[in-house]
Amino acid sequence: MMIQTSCDIAPQEQTRAALEAMRAYFAATAQSRPRQERQRLAHEWLAAVRRMRTTSL
Enumerate the H helices of the chain as residue ranges. Answer: 6-30, 35-56
Interval 21-55: pLDDT, tens? 999 999 999 999 999 999 999 999 999 999 888 87
Domain boundaries, the chain: 14-56
What does the pLDDT read at residue 7?
A: 52
What does the pLDDT read at residue 53?
A: 84
Residue 24, C-beta contacts closer than 8 angstroms, at least 6 positions apart: 41, 44, 45
* Position 9 confidence tier, pLDDT thresholds 50, 70, 90: low
